[in-house]
Structure 1
């Protein structure tokens, strides 16, 4: 129908209805404002609802593709919107999709499932009955899911990890991930307090592939054994990470997910309309501005002697003319125009940092400490920016000297890092960037819910909680980059004898699901768990 009804298609800014890779997805998209297409697709949906006993609907590919077609442009003018503004065109397309989604919800009713796949989680939280986090980590990257789960579990009670059996991508009929790889995805879901699913693509002329479902059946059978400890379990988080209401989790949040996972800090991702009161520390990462609504919540947080870490442009007002709150007692000196600046620790030495001048890689703001704040790391400028002057290219940009400005400064319970450290970590994975975040968090969060000894950075530790137990999740397995793919072929091992300290006093601990006893001792306000050998993954229940 898209071929026969070209007027039903989205028209892009260049006036095209076919664009991009014509052998892939999304080279042609449909306009939900066009009355012909709306009538057609809603009619199909009504036919399915009337004639079949369905549990619900999954509407895929509900992406926002800004439409510059006649119907949309006319409607924008009618509403007093500017059809020459790309931002307003996108806003109009989003609202058209919302209107369509609300119509589908009315047709379906409240007693059936609905998933609008591709729409922002927070925007459709009153329409979706649940969230399915679509992620093929081998191709999309293993840093994607963790951040999505940290956000989704605070929007809907029911959240699924929708991985796929494919080696490459959807529709990869001849591709099958290893059993270890699919097990890893299932463990990631359980560790993050969400449910599991494995996606497939049915052959159009045949049945499901028996080889695939022999593996899937075995994995699901194993996962079912964990259900008494995972059904209804809630993720335990020390740190609340802010995102804007759009909830688009870019490289900043992928880098943050990786960094906090390596440091064994537990966190949720939240928007300003959510409850921030239970978190000991809040992070305003890289680009997170402070609105009047968020300002009130941050003031309450700080009044309770809790901590905040902001980075890059985090903590600024929306206009980026200064810090939004007086508790940021640093002098704001504008956006950093450098592309090659450095930092060096001054306050203390810390592991993996020393006295070296380290590159920032992703720049944010310029600031100086005041009498009410202290410089932890100094800002060091290069001799010049990387640039072209019309005659020569300036590629090598060595550090020159300190400017007197701060790269990291502290004022009371507020720490600020001047550059976009999480974006930089996602793109460069520099150990000193992780080191300075660790430095700040150790001072803001003196008693985290988890501490560990002899656990590698590649392992992941989390806690989930039920009424009578908490579950310690220890995942040793991690991917390896092989060519252009992230691959898991076998499980890694953590030798016995490693220790994890869990905040609180617990009377008993055992491996799930077999209930083999695990050695624990009390140490002040912590219960120290002596881990047995962990092959791939272990879940340990601690009884309250």
Structure 2
């Protein structure tokens, strides 16, 4: 991470040919002065946009230079003035969206089973969203374009390439089908077609990275697909680093970044988070994100181990917005002050949560970030646990507890890996259908027999002094159907309670479900040595309805398994914490964030107000380490602290937005 710039801007410049005087107000010194005042240390600038136009003096395709550009040297001047001021300038080019290619080379476009062009965004015309097939003559076109950039800009002036828009596509073109036949894949099966699309993207990235590295060995290379998941692992060698595009107000939502970042930070690559200054989505000219929202999005990147990138779009006249860079500068001034305590740090986690995304089948519908994973991330964040999102190939021994949220497929090798993990002292929490072999209903791991779906659409759980110990000792409804199980070698920690009946046929009661019949049903929670199992899809349920009793049940289960918790506090569940460790010392860095997302509009969630917290007690597990000092970052003001029972305890007078501590 030390080589990454932490205060980046991604400067879009998708500019229609129907706009005159493009770049006419660009002034290099004014441009760079605006960036410097805003504490920007890297800015991605455009060689070519989605409209297909070029913003540099192309030798290979001068006909594609934007027809109304005022200054053909725009990109070159952006690079030169930024380099003189120690600001990096990665070069942007588009890959699979290009309006010029759409119009002039329709033979290069991906087609569906009806021979229609594939519009992956579903946006009506006019647009530039027909997806280009990378198995076509376009691949050579792109190489020639990259070579042209290198020839014109010069390899010594190139910091890196940001290659945008690489998506898997169910393409039915002759080239794809020919390659599928060569690989023994069935063109009549959608799963095979989409699987081939992923293979082809991996091959493409490897080929283009080799092409770039041969010519500009020091260049950074990143391919943007708007998400990073398990499928990225096969082509990681093609990336110099990772960038995680996630604009909460632009369709990703506030659940995408934490779930995806907690996974991608385990892939062994430096990583940059990316949001936008826009109130909504890319291309939202003359809008500003709420200051509190941009603060949270950037500070959460730091807390979870990423550098920062903020998306902007340059006005066609080439002049940066004063308001936008006042906003960006407000956030980046604070990032600049603390970034040295974010560099060279590693995550400290106590829990690993398996991602359902690993088990998605290519070509079949999938929910993106699965509701079960969203529920797990929300619940664990609200409970102040330190956790990663992992896949089944990763090292389980880094974690005290492994969580299998609701829908993790049954795989014998995963079951065996977890059994071996528990023999070494590891703990497991499984829920609902995770790791349930429906062909052999007896689970040695859980100590239960799986009978099938519950007979009841909604049933109830009855808290006790082990699970739900802080709840009233009466029934609580579970809004999503669970599984019916029978305890074999496990101990029952919580019972379900049956309703009188389902709401079906002639039976119904009141407005929703029937009340409790007071008759016990099957177990709701069991424990088999180091393994706790919930028969309900408790994380999906929490994502759907957010019942506090489900979070209380999970809290009790984790506390039942964990000897200690890494971070504790007496604040509200909206206070998020992240614990990291400096790699060049044993100092710990604690991030605390308090920003509350709201849906004040029909379309988007955002954050507007920063609500301070007062007299917050933070406790950090330190084991037998000797604490020398606790200081506030970045001022390094020393704080009083107490050490007792392997915890250091600090009381913070005020947390307003983002707060950082250095524990030496």
Shared fold, TM over 0.5: yes
Partner in structure 2 of residue 496 of structure 1:
615
Q: Matches of residues 237-276 of structure 1 in structure 2 within 5 Å?
A: 237-243=349-355, 245=358, 249-276=369-396
SS at match of 1:183: helix
Aligned to 2:411: 291
Aligned residues of 1:385 and 1:394 also touching (Cα < 8 A): no
Report whether the alignment pairs 1:142 with 2:254. yes
Q: How far 1:72 moved relative to its partner?
A: 2.1
1:450, 1:503 within 8 Å by CA — same for their partners in 2?
A: no
Shift of 1:296: 4.0
Q: Deviations over 1:472-508 (max 9, x none)?
A: 1111222222123222223111112534343334221
1:441 aligns with 2:558: yes
Answering whether residue 336 of structure 2 is matched by residue 236 of structure 1, we say no
The equivalent of 1:515 in structure 2 is 636
Structure 2 residue aligned with 1:30, among 132, 143, 146? 132
Whole-Å separation in 2 of the counterparts to 1:394 and 1:102: 61
8 Å CA contact 2:401–2:427 kept in 1: the answer is: yes
Cα distance between partner residues in 2 of 1:76 and 1:384: 53
Of residues 118-127 and 523-532 in structure 1, the stretch that sits farther from structure 2 once superposed is 118-127
User: Secondary structure, in 3 states, of the residue corresponding to 2:524?
Assistant: strand
- 1:114 is matched with 221
CA distance in 2, matches of 1:124, 1:443: 40
- Contact 1:321–1:334 (CA<8 Å) still a contact in 2? no
Tell me how far 1:282 sits from its aligned partner: 0.7
1:417-473: per-residue Cα shift (whole Å, max 9, x none)? 1122212212211111111111110101130111222x1011111211111411111
Measured against aligned partners, the alpha-carbon deviations of 1:214-246 in whole angstroms (never above 9, x if no partner) come to: 221232122111122111111210111122546
Secondary structure of 1:510's partner? strand
Alpha-carbon deviation of 1:114? 1.6
- What is aligned with 1:80? 184
CA RMSD of aligned residues (A): 2.7
Q: How many Å apart are 1:528 and its aligned residue?
A: 0.9
Q: Evaluate the alpha carbon distance shift between residue 205 and residue 284 of structure 1 in structure 2; reply closer, same or farther with a 3 A threshold.
A: same
Q: Is the 8 A contact 1:272 1:293 kept in 2?
A: no
Q: 1:292 to 1:516 in 2, by over 3 A?
A: same
1:16-415 alignment, distance < 5 Å: 16-17=116-117, 19=119, 20-22=122-124, 27-34=129-136, 36-52=137-153, 53-109=157-213, 111-118=218-225, 120=229, 121-139=232-250, 140-243=252-355, 245=358, 249-317=369-437, 320-322=438-440, 326-336=444-454, 339-345=457-463, 348=466, 350=468, 353-370=471-488, 372-382=489-499, 396-399=512-515, 401=517, 402=519, 404-415=521-532
In 1, Cα distance between equivalents of 2:199 and 2:503: 42
Look up the match of 2:534. Answer: 417
Q: Secondary structure at the match of 1:234?
A: strand
CA distance, structure 1, for counterparts of residue 643 and residue 508 of structure 2: 65
Q: CA deviation at 1:339?
A: 3.8
Residue 315 of structure 1 contacts residue 324 of structure 1 at CA under 8 Å; is this kept in 2? no
User: What secondary structure sits across from 1:486 in the alignment?
Assistant: coil
Task: Pick one of 3, 9, 12 that aligns with 2:112.
Answer: 12
Higher mean Cα deviation, 254-263 or 109-118?
Answer: 109-118
Provide the rounded CA distance (Å) in 2 between the counterparts of 1:492 and 1:461: 16
Q: Distance in 2 between matches of 1:437 and 1:277?
A: 22
- How many Å apart are 1:99 and its aligned residue? 1.6
User: What stretches of structure 1 of length at least 5 have no aligned partner?
Assistant: none
Q: In structure 1, the residue corresponding to 2:421 is in which secondary structure?
A: helix
Are the equivalent residues in 2 in contact too, given 1:352–1:432 (CA < 8 A)?
no
Contact 2:508 2:514 in 1 (8 A): no
What are the Cα deviations for residues 173-198 of structure 1, in whole angstroms up to 9, with x where unaligned? 12111222211112111211221111
Q: TM-score, normalised by structure 2?
A: 0.75
CA contact (8 A) 1:346 1:378 kept: no
Pick closer, same or farther for the CA change 1:128–1:333 going to 2, 3 Å: same
**Deviation larger for 308-317 or 37-46:** 37-46
Determine the C-alpha separation between the residues in 2 that align with 1:387 and 1:114. 58
**Which stretch has the larger CA shift, 518-527 or 42-51?**
42-51
Distance (Å, rounded) in 1 between the aligned partners of 2:471 and 2:352: 26
Q: Does 1:464 align with 2:580?
A: yes
- 1:135-187 deviation digits (Å, cap 9, x = unpaired): 11234322221111110110033111111101011111121112222111121
Is the 8 Å Cα contact of residues 340 and 386 (structure 1) preserved in structure 2? Answer: no
Instruction: Work out the CA distance in 2 between the residues paired with 1:221 and 1:301.
Output: 45
Deviates more, 1:156-165 or 1:103-112: 103-112
Say which is worse superposed, 483-492 or 71-80, in terms of deviation.
71-80
- Listed one character per residue, the Cα deviations across residues 85-140 of structure 1 (whole Å, up to 9, x for unaligned) are 11111111111211211111111115321212116432332222211111112343
Is the 8 Å Cα contact of residues 122 and 246 (structure 1) preserved in structure 2? Answer: no
Alignment match, 2:57: none
TM-score, normalization: structure 1? 0.91
Q: C-alpha deviations, 1:359-385, integer Å up to 9, x for none?
A: 433445321212x21222223455555
Change (3 A) 1:219 1:349: closer
- Name the CA distance, whole Å, in 2 between partners of 1:279 and 1:188: 22
Q: Distance in 2 between matches of 1:137 and 1:539?
A: 23
CA distance in 1, matches of 2:174, 2:503: 45
Aligned residue for 1:430? 547
CA distance in 2, matches of 1:180, 1:69: 47
Question: Is 1:116–1:128's contact at 8 Å kept on the other side of the alignment?
Answer: yes
| CA displacement at 1:398 relative to structure 2 | 2.0
Contact persistence 2:618–2:649 (CA under 8 A): yes
What SS class does the counterpart of residue 124 from structure 1 fall into?
helix
Q: What is aligned with 2:103?
A: 3
